[in-house]
Amino acid sequence: MVEEFRKLKTLAKSIKPIIRIGKNGVSGNVIKELKRLLKKYHLVKIKVLKAAPIEGKDELKRMAQSLARETDSKVVLIIGNTFTLYFK
């Protein structure tokens, strides 16, 4: 499991963000689209734009964990304003 997670982190660094979260924050449509993309690609990178209603890294981490719970996925990597989720 640790080896698989290490490979996922390496892959996560090489992909581009598919979803962007902006000033409207996380809506039902964002969650619906994220679920669809996770089922299709299994590994999805999300970028949180500066206009998004979050303040600080702790809030970004909570957002990533919340989205992971709602989509039955796992947070693989958080770097800057981007995070990657994995759905198995």
Q: How far apart are CA 68 and CA 86, in angstroms?
A: 8
pLDDT for residue 42: 96
Calculate the alpha carbon distances from 28 to 1, 25, 46, 67 in Å.
Answer: 31, 10, 15, 11
Which SS3 state, helix, strand or coil, does residue 61 take?
Answer: helix
Domain of 35, in residue numbers? 2-86
pLDDT in tens, 34-77: 999 999 999 999 999 999 988 889 999 999 999 999 999 999 99
The enclosing domain of 75 has a CATH number of 3.30.110.60
Calculate the alpha carbon distances from 49 to 2, 5, 72 in Å.
Answer: 31, 26, 23
Number of domains in the chain: 1
What are the phi and psi torsion angles at 64 (to 5°)? -60, -45
pTM (two decimals): 0.93
